[in-house]
Amino acid sequence: MIGRSVLVLFFLGASLFTAEAKNIKKGVVKKPLFVVEWQRIYGGKEDDVAQDIVALEKGDSAIVGTCKSFDAKSSDICVLRMDAHGNVRWRLFIGGKKQEFGKSIARAADGNLFVLGKSKSFSKEYDYDLYLSKVSLEGKLLWSRAIGGTRDEYPGGVVGTDDGGAVIVGSSESFRNGYKDIYIVQLDAKGRVRKQKVFGGERDDAAYNITRLRDGNFVLVGSRETERSGDSDFFVMKIDQKLNKLWFKSFGGNEEDILYGVAPTIDNGVVAVGSTRSYGSSQTDMAVVRLDTKGKMQWIKLYGYKYYEYAYDVALRRDGGFMIAGGTNTLGKGDHSPYFIALDRNGKLQWSHVYGGDDRDIMYGIARMRDGSLVAVGETESFRHAKKFYMIKLRKNR
């Protein structure tokens, strides 16, 4: 556990959450650091939710989510390729006759896409399996694989390996005492399982995301339940491309602490983001943690107000700083609103803002584009009768 000597910053003034508002001092209007280039809503008559995004060439991006519209069989994994202006180039549905849910997307070594989700269509026990697909940049399904045991598996994240294969992480109830365990699977370029590992204790353990470092190794993040069910500590593990554990860290306070997103730093460390109810949080605060390449914590900071603030993903910016995406139900017009925070490489707050409409809107994924802009994706209930893809492109203010 971490004591209260850790550097933890609480921001309890509403002005910090509306940094794009005019900040007037001595007659000078300070420009916001980031501005919206565009916002897009995408979907049909049923619920459609975006979960993750990856940058492609020429400002394009690929997005994965879950779709019930457009003649989906039940709920399908859907993949979209978008251009730099937010226009859809193509859309692909992946799945069978039962339920599928999309979770994570990444580039393969050959430039194509790995798409991770979960599926009930191909399991023998009507449980959820991890479901990995490879998709071409033209929107063609190359192959799909269901992976798992006789009970439910839950997807976390996917990364490509140097040999053209992939490493996927998540959690599984299939291999031990019925609680969730951290589940790591290595696959070759054709989707065949080469190796799998399970890590866990007496209660629930889960991996929610993974990132690749510049040194070729990987870091996964999640949570581990501690003394009683419902409470957890932050969890971070570094592995190599053969799934060998290089180090792991588990830390937190006396309440629920979870890491959902992770991004590399320029020095082979990571910044991980999530939520915490520890460290004197009123309800739930956004948590941001920076660790060096050996897993040593450099800082941890919290951003919160009266009710719930949380982070789901983080992207490394060109200048070495970070953009964090998540949500808040303290501020904004709706029940939950998309919440962004920009930090410099030392964790200093540079900018923050809340977007969205009058209902429930949340951001789940964010990626930096080739031109340095950032595109975040998630869900909105504010602008249509059902949930829709919600996409926001941010750029540095000129």
> What does the domain layout of the chain look like in residue ranges?
14-396
**pLDDT at 242 (0 to 100):** 92
**pLDDT at 289 (0 to 100):** 96
Residue 349 has pLDDT above 80, yes or no: yes
Question: Residue 53: which pLDDT band, with cuts at 50, 70 and 90?
Answer: very high
Whether this model's pTM surpasses 0.85: yes
Q: What percent of the chain has pLDDT over 90?
A: 73
Residue 179, judged by CB atoms within 10 A of its CB (0-12, 13-18, 19+), counts as middle
DSSP structural state of residue 356: -
Residue 84 has pLDDT above 50, yes or no: yes
DSSP letters, 104-168, are EEEE-TTS-EEEEEEESTT-SSS--EEEEEEE-TTS-EEEEEEE--SS-EEEEEEEE-TTS-EEE
Tokens of 25: 């001092």
Q: Please indicate whether residue 158 or residue 333 has the higher confidence score (pLDDT).
A: 158
Residue 26, judged by CB atoms within 10 A of its CB (0-12, 13-18, 19+), counts as exposed
Q: Cβ distance 360 to 328 under 8 Å?
A: no
Angstrom distance (rounded) from CA 6 to CA 301: 9
Q: How many Cβ atoms sit within 10 Å of the Cβ of residue 138?
A: 10
Residue 141 has pLDDT above 50, yes or no: yes
Question: Residue 117: which pLDDT band, with cuts at 50, 70 and 90?
Answer: very high
* Stretch 43-64: mean pLDDT: 95
Q: Please indicate whether residue 209 or residue 124 has the higher confidence score (pLDDT).
A: 209
Angstrom distance (rounded) from CA 330 to CA 319: 30
CATH no., domain 14-396: 2.120.10.30
**pLDDT at 126 (0 to 100):** 79
Model confidence pLDDT, tens digit, residues 251-303? 988 888 999 999 999 999 999 999 999 888 878 999 999 999 999 999 999 99
Model confidence pLDDT, tens digit, residues 3-40? 322 333 322 222 223 333 333 233 344 679 999 999 99
Most distant CA pair in the chain: distance in Å?
Answer: 69
Angstrom distance (rounded) from CA 197 to CA 171: 11
Angstrom distance (rounded) from CA 286 to CA 36: 22
User: Cα 265 from chain centroid?
Assistant: 16
The C-alpha torsion from 51 through 54 and 59 to 60, rounded to 10°, is -70
As a whole number, the mean pLDDT across the chain is 88
Question: Residue 325: which pLDDT band, with cuts at 50, 70 and 90?
Answer: very high
**pLDDT at 247 (0 to 100):** 96
